Structure 1
Amino acid sequence: MAIQPDAERQRLENQRQGREPWRLWGPYLSERAWGTVREDYSPDGTAWEYFDHEQSRSRAYRWNEDGLGGISDEAQHLCFGLALWNGKDAILKERAFGLTGNQGNRGEDVKECYFYVDATPSHSWLHYLYKYPQSPFPYTRLTEENARRSRKDPPFELIDSGAFTDRCYWDVEVFYAKASPDELHIRILASNRGQAEATLWLLPQLWFRNYWSWLEKGEVKPVLHATAAPEGAAWALMAEHPALGNYNLYGRQQAVLLYTENETNNSRLWGVPNAGPYVKDAFHRYLVDSEHEAVNPARQGTKFGAAHKLTIEAGESQMIELVLSAAPLPQPFACQDQVFAQRRAEADAFFRTLLPEAAVQDKRILRQALAGMIWNKQFFHYDVSDWLKGDQATPPPSRRHGRNHNWRHLKANHVISMPDAWEYPWFAAWDLAFHCVPLALIDVDFAKEQVELLLNENYLHPNGQIPAYEWAFSDVNPPVHAMGALKVFRAERVQRGRGDIGFLKRVLHKLLLNHTWWINLKDATGMNVFEGGFLGMDNISVYDRSEPLDPGYTLKQADATGWMAMFSLQLTVIALEIAVDDPAYENIAIQSYSQFLAIANTIAGHTGAGVSLWDNVDGFFKDLVVEPDGRVHRIDVFSWVGIIPLFACEVVDARLLANRKRFNALLWEHKGGMFDGSAICACPVDTNERGEHLLSLVTPSMFVKMLPRIFDEEEFFSPYGVRSVSKRHAIERHLGHIPGLGEAVIRYVPGESESGLFGGNSNWRGPVWMPTNYLLVQAVEKMHRYLGDAFTFPAPCLNGYEINLKYAANMLADRLADIFRPDESGLIPAFPENSPHQADPHWRDLLLFHEFFHGETGQGLGAAHQTGWTGLAANLVMRRYRADIPDFWRQQYPKG
């Protein structure tokens, strides 16, 4: 068997050129569709209670499907997933279980153990692992114990329940290997990790997403029906869909074949007659309740399951083999061994070429982080206009002015990179911009599509706002889309030798609309200082900034203003990149840089209240509260809010400024960083030895004041990255009465938040948070690029030893990556010391990429599978070895 080391990259190229649709099938099946806004038709917007886990097995979804370790086509017409039963549970396990947003001491919390082990970007190879207890699954205990715990207690997880004691559990692995874009070979391996023989029911399922219940009568309904089994197969069926076409599913092992309809069991849920005798929960009733009449003896329907009863000795394994193919196959299993061996070897070659010389653990971090990014691609479907109308049911009157009522234009029907397929199974705008950074390492075309998607007219509001997330599209996320666009553009330029200027043009036009929205709606006084509100910083503030202040009071946010300065600079650079090919875009660069200067002027205190957001005494940026009479109160908090202005930093080379006479004149007009006679930013006309210019909100003199605080272990610099709140606030600090806010208190908590101030799951935004840490690494690197090795500062974490900025950036990046590396004692900080992940051979190579991390221990907290922005770990690992630029890209696409 000859393995082509560039086979995976060739598949991606074929996808890009439109020759082969390798993304047609992928891991697009969500881990959770219940408890979402899309499925909520309640009068008061109680999504978790309206459609809960208990209903999910019996109630057909309106918008998308969920399952265990599943896949679907990109429009989610047809789904494949796993169901399990250990013979003891009261529920057939067809989907993951967890707490709702209103349960326990930390809501939105999956209570399962599963892992995205491996994946390639074309989905030619996928590997998923689920750990299933052999004892009854502790649904009740997980719910009740978490309800007893306070915010000061750690959440009670499945692994804490004793479910895996004495290794009495099953490892169930699902492997997918594509022979072609529409021929998928599937293997499901069940391994008994227990000490005695045990029995497991394993049900691979194939079903259609129910769309017909919400359409007009007469629409063609898809159907699954039995067909004759070809040579080598024990059974076969055909799936006929009017849009997708026909697909064939073949099974190699004998099974009990079950058919039903993907229809709601109205009788069970609401005590009203069902439309037909066969409904969604039929397989549960057949196995768990022994209701054999629940399935269709005619062997047809819209949902299918192949029930395999496996009795396996301790330490042994059994495998189920299947093939899903658009074309009928006379011998479906004839080449399966070869397909699996080849795709696995090609995946190894792809990642080996990506990072050939790394340590074993770093290769594992990179590969599993990127696997999580790929597995968190999800089909997202939500037509807000139809949802508001009630979908053939009369909506409650409250809906007309309720959630998302002013987003009627939003029509989503796409594969989108999600933060977490269970805890956050919906897109989040600023998460998505960060997702595109690691995705660009392996599939720059998909990353470009993701950047553009939320700027599409079906998402972007006519007023220019980017939708935040489905719980409240009108919430405000940091404006980081331009950052994502630039990172993807630059990644493609490295990989292919030239960037896609057409992509930049399309993105820029839409981002200018968004920029204008910010200026018009988030700058209440028109003075270029911004009140963004939420901005992802909810748990590091003394005030819930999504709530209005008392009448006449305004909050001037250092982070919102810093984000907008960054946004303006990135628009400037995008326009300059385009102007190299199309000089007409120089005007946009001038306008964007002028906006940056206006923001910098306000931050410096030369407009509005006349007080700078920069506190020169402390060398830090801070929020301000302005009273109706103009008096100003500085909020003396040291948190990410005051670091974010550092991100407004770009290094511009001579190539971008060549022949840009008007833009160069603008730079000279503000020589010395001057604006109306005052210094407001870094000098834009000075150059380094390479002839590069620094466009930055923070001057080198300000930067050198901030750096010692950031790299002080008694303040921000933890062993695992920069904390969200300075450790100087470890003792609760009362800031006194702040007019417009009331009594203000701040406290550094290294683990999960103890505050209920922000409602719901208020444990978001933990002490060490990957996305802002990553942007800080990038900002320090840019400053080093401009200032060079000669610029140093005393680092408190090194007893005041003078270090340059390259050393500082590397030190920070390594501390972040060390979260996932074994420490000197051989323990991985991301997991508790007593976790099986530390030593158990069946756990120790499995990584999880949490939402945030404990500020002192590095332990993972929050959403366990939020590989989304924590997938940036892949970039941090790569930069240690080759500064994010793999050699094979240089070799394949030499610079032109």
Structure 2
Amino acid sequence: MFPQPASPSAEEVRLGEDVRRERFWKLWGTYLPARQWGTVREDYSADGDAWSSFPFEHAKSRVYRWGEDGLLGLCDRFGRLCFGLALWNGRDPLLKERLFGLGGHQGNHGEDVKELYYFLDATPTHSYCKALYKYPQREFPYADLAAENGRRDHTQWEYELLDTGVFAEDRYFDVFVEYAKDSISDILIRVTIHNRGPEPARLVALPSLWYRNTWGWGHISEECLEKPEISLASPGILAARHAVMGEYRLAYDVGPDGRMPEFLFTDNETNTQLLYGCPSPHRFTKDAFHEAVVHGRRDAVNPAECGTKAAGLYDLIIPPGQSTELRMRLAADAAWPHDRPFDAGFADIFARRQAEAEEFYAAKLSPTLTVEERRIARQANAGLLWSKQFYYFVQVEWHDGDEGLPRPPQGHALRNAAWPNLFNRDILSMPATWEYPYYCSWDLAFHTAALWRSDPEFCKDQLVLLLREWYQHSDGQIPAYEWNFSDANPPVHGWAALRIYRQLAARGQRDDEFLERIFQKLLLNFTWWVNRKDPDGNNLFAGGFLGFDNISVFDRSKPLPTGGTLKQVDGTAWIAKYCLDILQMALLMTDRGVAYEDMATKFIVHFTRIVDAMNTFCGTGLWNEEDGFYYDMLDFGDHHVPLKIRSVVGFIPLLATCYVTAEQRRTSPGFAARLLWHVKNRPRLASLLLEINGNVADPSLDLLLTMTPRHRLERLLRYLFDEQEFLSDHGIRSVSKYHEKHPYTYACDGTTYVVDYEPGAGRTGMFGGNSNWRGPVWMPINFMIIEALKTYGHFFGDSLLVEFPTGSGHRVTLTAAAELLAARVQRLFLPDENGFRPCHGGEPRYAHDPAWKDLVLFHEYFHGDTGKGLGAAHQTGWTALVAELLAEKTAMLQNPSQRPAAPPTS
């Protein structure tokens, strides 16, 4: 813990006011999604093909039912009034008002955004936010990107925007967007545009204000009142009037030529004539600004200067190497600075908010971090905060269709039909603003592990929210994601909640009410797992792909081609870990009543049964003594076949461990007595799940509950730390490099199924082809392994030394091994001696160009050999966990034998 300032920072004061509901600082934020088209919410097709149902080509002309999107924009917490940029370089066939990318069927590795943008800074209350978009001056290569990626197959690299040559000679604009709040409803906007090219270049900028269409669907859930309106209130000032929000004004400052922008107006309505060939009931439609600016059709905009969408048009010529600044100010009528909204105070407010952001993060990050490490942590945190998005979905209304409109086709009703309880209209932490603009429950748990230092109340609220009745199913299941809310993902909700609770308690901010709320609902979820994913009642769990997509030789989300059932190491180990998470929660609350001690006892019993099954099923369990590894097993009833794939699945049992202190044994005598009973009456089983440095009957000793006893732990760690197996320069690979030369094969009914080492993007179309767990490095699993190693390291101390790397002769404690592994993961983002960050894959601009070299992308996963970023490019998201690794950085590397003084929080 770092020294705290004597008084809270200005941002901490704002956070406190927001939590106490004194001032609603989070009313406005960068909540506007980057993509609404191609989502399940907007899919009303019979076949469930969301990408084809609402393609990118429709987005400029077709109104959205369940949300909005825009370019680096912001909106209120219900997504009603939106602000975003639209840009035109004089060459493109359409305005750049949203990010372009390929749909799931178009990319050779699934959906993929084909733009260059970066989240540079943000504070938790969105009092200051900054982002960057790089806009080519040449015509944007829409057709080239689609055609070339369409020609490539799964074995080839994706064709990216930088590959097209559109940035040659630096002919592009850097467009910086900044927001600063003067009050809860007074937001200053600054757009700074740099011409990086060698010649003067034209840019048309249209900072736009519009209302999400809430008036066309006839549902009271959206406050179905009169249609709002935006009009020109006075020169340079738009007035936006809404029956619930009241009146807001958006002021535009003069451009660099000293003149006010030209104002354009239209309505946020679908152009049915263009899309479907039938007359539109609305004279002015969503795509009017495209028609007016790109095609010169000024009759497309409303001459009456009113509508539900408006923009100020700046037509700029920017000299080479020069920049231009545009200024706007959005404020509620009651907060309107009536005199001079753009006087000297405008720049002063930005300067103050920037300084306050620096002050805020100075207290959150270790002063020992280098400049580069601080940059990585800040940008990771910014990505998390920019990825808080407005998400709206009411399953019953989506299922039934809207009043006065044609009913959806019959096949439409099949998706997520079991979730009529879903009424989601919240700000949620998304995995990525473009690739994954919807919540994913297991991703969200990792987001809270990365964001808790900046905004612990938001993190707690997110975890509680997913367990409320309008999210969690009545049977206890937590919704997975909109493509299939019924999918089963690893149950890490309890781990995330417990981690936040302990971290805050260590800082004197214990929140028992939060822990109790989480605990009660997780009991329902745990019961769902036991009833649904352990169908034989033998404490060996299935669960499907469990977030690991293509890691198995079979698609685990589908029926097995072999017949039989699959006994999953990871499914079983995740539930064992879940037992320990809930057990630890119960032990932390025994002072609130004996019922919690009873629950701790219940979960230790359940944990012992899972460990017993893991080690005795079919005689040997899922542990292979010959190989010293855990494998999934095909169960055919009369015989069993281990699937000998060395993958991170075999390390999930390492995560199922927890520290029980002597104090907890003393204050929970019933729980302690049950443990002693197992030691006396089930000694073989106790030897598998219990580690203690002395006599277990001695109440003064701490003990370790674990699914992986010491002798197996040591064997597993030889694989984990072997550079020819799992240990790469940048973290733990998802599949062992051993399989590069020794693929695993399984023959069935004339088909041979193969798993080999695929360190880069996936070479098959399984799970859409945009994900690969057969070799790359994934941040969340590395993070959990590091935390587990710290737990083992705390318990064993100097009594257990391992080689790191295996075969090196360099022996360290497990705590030091955790630090060394964390350093390798951090290396993904740090520039080497030549300026290259591994995550950027050798692109020279990111190493040497002053306009690029300080920009960091946080990809979904990373090449198992080179560290090149792959998948979604803005996965902050769980890849922001690197910021937490940096925050926990200690002097351990200088003193590998150092042992922590207290149990770690995992």
Q: Is the TM value for this pair above 0.5?
A: yes
Q: 1:292 aligns with which of 291, 298, 306?
A: 298
Deviation at 1:793, TM superposition (A): 1.8
CA distance in 2, matches of 1:504, 1:82: 42
- In the alignment, which of 473, 477, 481 is matched to residue 465 of structure 1? 477
Matched, 1:209 2:217: no
Aligned pair count reads: 872
Task: Tell me which amino acid in the other structure corresponds to 2:860.
Answer: E
Which residue number in structure 2 is paired with residue 451 of structure 1? Answer: 463
More moved, 277-286 vs 874-883:
874-883
Q: Higher mean Cα deviation, 793-802 or 431-440?
A: 793-802
Out of 665, 674, 682, the residue aligned to residue 666 of structure 1 is 674
Alpha-carbon spacing, 1:672–1:301, altered in 2? closer, same or farther (3 Å): farther
Matched, 1:846 2:855: yes
Distance in 2, Cα, partners of 1:476 & 1:248: 46
Q: Does 1:553 align with 2:555?
A: no
User: In the superposition, relative to structure 1, how do residues 108 and 713 fare at CA in structure 2: closer, same or farther (>3 Å)?
Assistant: same
Matched, 1:735 2:741: no
Separation of aligned partners in 2, 1:245 and 1:658: 59
- How many angstroms apart in 2 are the aligned matches of 1:552 and 1:454? 35
Q: How does 1:636-785 map to 2 (within 5 A)?
A: 636-671=644-679, 674=682, 679-683=687-691, 686=696, 691-737=701-747, 743-759=752-768, 761-763=770-772, 767-785=776-794
CA contact (8 A) 1:674 1:681 kept: no
Offset at residue 349 of structure 1 (A): 1.3
Q: Distance in 1 between matches of 2:524 and 2:179?
A: 42
Distance 2:239 2:767 in 1: 51
Q: CA deviation at 1:288?
A: 0.3
1:388/1:747 CA distance change after superposition, 3 Å? same
SS, match of residue 141 in structure 1: helix
CA distance in 2, matches of 1:614, 1:822: 41
1:504 partnered with 2:505: no
* 3-state SS, counterpart of residue 580 of structure 1: helix
Q: 1:191 & 1:556 partners in 2: Cα distance? A: 57
- For 1:310, the equivalent position in structure 2 comes to 316
Task: Give the SS at the match of 1:448.
Answer: helix
Q: Matched residues in 2 for 1:148 and 1:24: separation?
A: 45
For 1:345-424, what aligned pairs fall within 5 Å after superposition? 345-355=355-365, 356-392=367-403, 393-399=405-411, 402-424=414-436
Instruction: Write the deviation string for residues 43-99 of structure 1: whole angstroms up to 9, x where unpaired.
Output: 111110110111000001000100001000101110000100000000111100001
Establish whether residue 132 from structure 1 lines up as the match of residue 143 from structure 2.
Answer: no
Give the letter aligned to residue 8 of structure 1: E
**Which secondary structure state, in structure 2, belongs to the residue aligned with residue 357 of structure 1?**
coil
Aligned to 2:902: none
Partner of 1:581: 592
**Distance across 2 between alignment mates of 1:677 and 1:391:** 58
TM-score, length-normalised on structure 1?
0.94
- Asked if structure 1 preserves the Cα contact closer than 8 Å seen for 2:266 and 2:307, the reply is yes
* 483-492 or 464-473: bigger deviation: 483-492
Other-structure match for 1:261: 267
Cα distance, 1:678 vs. partner? 6.9
1:143 matched to 2:146? The reply is yes
Q: Secondary structure at the match of 2:355?
A: helix
Aligned residue number for residue 92 of structure 1 = 95
Which residue of the partner structure matches residue 797 of structure 2? 788
Distance 1:359 1:275, change over 3 A: same
Instruction: Give SS of 1:670's match.
Output: helix
Task: Report what 1:894 is aligned to.
Answer: none
Q: Which residue of 2 aligns with 1:516?
A: 527
1:247 maps to 248
Identity %: 44
User: Quick one: structure 1 residues 308 and 747, their matched pair in 2 at CA, closer, same or farther if it must change by over 3 Å?
Assistant: same
Name which of 481, 488, 505 aligns with 1:493: 505
- Comparing 523-532 with 238-247, greater Cα deviation is found at 238-247
CA RMSD of aligned residues (A): 2.1
Structure 2 alignment gaps of length 5 or more: 1-5, 255-259, 893-906
Structure 2 CA distance for partners of 1:420 and 1:247, relative to 1, 3 Å? same
Deviations 1:692-727 (A, max 9, x none): 221111111211111111000000000000000001
Cα gap change, 1:466 to 1:134, in 2 (>3 Å) = same
Deviations 1:712-768 (A, max 9, x none): 0000000000000001001252434369x9633210011111123444545467610
Counterpart residue number, 2:449: 437
CA distance in 1, matches of 2:676, 2:824: 40
| Of 136-145 and 272-281, the range deviating more from structure 2 | 272-281
Deviation at 1:582, TM superposition (A): 3.1
CA distance in 2: counterparts of 1:742 and 1:575, whole angstroms: 49
> What are the Cα deviations for residues 526-550 of structure 1, in whole angstroms up to 9, with x where unaligned?
0010111011112221010011125
Deviations 1:186-217 (CA, angstroms, capped at 9, x unpaired): 00011100000011001100111101110169
Give yes or no for contact 1:35–1:52 (8 Å, CA) kept in 2.
yes
**Cα pair distance change 1:737/1:207, threshold 3 Å:** same
Is the 1:789–1:806 contact (alpha carbons within 8 Å) kept by the matching residues of 2? no
Match of 1:280 in 2: 286
**8 A contact 2:690–2:704 mirrored in 1:** yes
Could you tell me which residue of structure 1 aligns to residue 578 of structure 2? 567
Q: Name the residue aligned to 1:179.
A: 182
2 CA distance for matches of 1:153 and 1:856? 17
1:531 aligned partner: 542
Secondary structure in structure 1 of the residue aligned to 2:849: coil
Distance in 1 (alpha carbons) for counterparts of 2:498 and 2:708: 21
Task: Look up the equivalent residue of 1:437 and give its one-letter code.
Answer: A
Partners of 2:837 and 2:670 lie apart in 1 by 54
Structure 1 letter corresponding to 2:717: L
Taking the aligned partners of 2:180 and 2:105, their CA distance within structure 1 comes to: 39
Higher alpha-carbon deviation: 617-626 or 758-767: 758-767
Residues in 2 aligned to 1:868 and 1:599: alpha-carbon distance in whole angstroms: 32
Match of 2:240, SS state, is strand
- The aligned amino acid for 1:512 is L
- Residue identity in the other structure for 2:268: N
State the partner residue of 1:893: none
1:823 aligns to 2:829 (yes or no): no
Counterpart code for 1:795: F
CA change 1:9–1:762 in 2 (3 A) is: closer
Q: Deviations over 1:356-404 (max 9, x none)?
A: 2310100001100000000000000000111010223344453465111
**Partners of 2:680 and 2:204 in 1: how far apart?**
73
Deviations 1:198-245 (A, max 9, x none): 11001100111101110169831111111124xxxxx10111112222
Matched residue, 1:591: 602
Residue 333 of structure 1 deviates from its aligned partner by 2.0
**How far apart are the structure 1 equivalents of 2:719 and 2:597?**
38
Partner of 2:901: none
Match of 2:817 in 1: 808
Shift of residue 332, structure 1, vs aligned partner: 1.6
**Partners of 2:770 and 2:871 within 8 A in 1:** no
Q: Is the 8 A contact 1:753 1:766 kept in 2?
A: no
Which stretches in structure 1 are left out of the alignment for 5+ residues?
230-234, 884-896
Letter of the aligned partner of 2:610 in structure 1?
Answer: I
Q: Distance in 1 between matches of 2:190 and 2:76?
A: 18
Q: Which residue number corresponds to residue 870 of structure 1?
A: 879
Give the distance between the partners of 1:252 and 1:882, measured in 2 at CA.
Answer: 51
1:189 and 1:319 in contact (8 A); partners too: yes
Aligned partners of 2:847, 2:806: CA distance in 1, in Å?
Answer: 28
Inter-partner Cα distance in structure 2 for 1:213 and 1:801 = 68
